Amino acid sequence: MNSTTIEQLFKFDQNVEVIHSLMESEDLYVVLKVCSTHARCPGCKHLSSRRHSRYARKADDLSVSDRSVHLTILLHKWFCVNAKCEIKIFTERLDWLQPSGRKTTRLEKLIRHIGFSNNCLVAEKVCRKMGISISHDAILYRVKKEVSAPSSYCPFRGD
C-alpha cells in the first residue's frame, strides 16, 4: 500500500496529516499529526490559539486489507484564554474520536451495528475475524448503553 493511499484512508479532516506508517503481516501502524492552529475550550467554548504542549493518543480504526489498524495521534493541549473559565488547560477535541475513546467513531459505529445484529458471543467472533480486538463484555456494554439511552431508537422495544 503506497503512502498516497494511506493518506487518503486516514484523512479524517483537513487538519490531519499522516507522518508515518508501518505495515506488518497482521497490523498497520499509522502516526497522525493534528495541525490545528486553535481549539475550542470544552468548558466555556471560547476559542484559544495559545498552545500548552503536545501529547500522543492511541486508538484503533477500521481494518484495512485484513490488517488491524492502530493509530498514534499527536495532538495539542491548549490554555483557555477565558479568565472566568475553571478549565485552565484542555486537550484538543476531535470529531472522529471521543475524548477518552480508544476507537474511532466509525469503528465504534461498526461494533454497535455488529452487536445489535448478533448476540454478543457471535459479535465478538465476527469482530475478531475482521481484525477488531474487543471482548463480548465490551460489546454487551455498548448495546446496553445504547438501549438505556432515553431518546435513542432501539430495535428491541418496538418503537
pLDDT digits (tens, 9 = 90+) for 55-91: 999 999 999 888 899 999 999 999 999 999 999 999 9
pLDDT at 152: 57
Average model confidence (pLDDT) across the chain:
89
The residues, ordered by sequence, that sit 6+ positions from 108 with a Cβ below 8 Å of its Cβ are: 98, 101, 142
> Confidence band (pLDDT; 50, 70, 90) for 4?
confident
> Confidence band (pLDDT; 50, 70, 90) for 140?
very high
- Domain locations in the chain as residue ranges: 1-96, 103-150
pLDDT at 146: 80
> Confidence band (pLDDT; 50, 70, 90) for 122?
very high
Q: Cα–Cα distance between 42 and 88 in angstroms, integer? A: 11
Q: The pTM is what?
A: 0.83
Q: Report whether pLDDT(159) > 80.
A: no
Mean pLDDT, to the nearest integer, of 6-12? 83
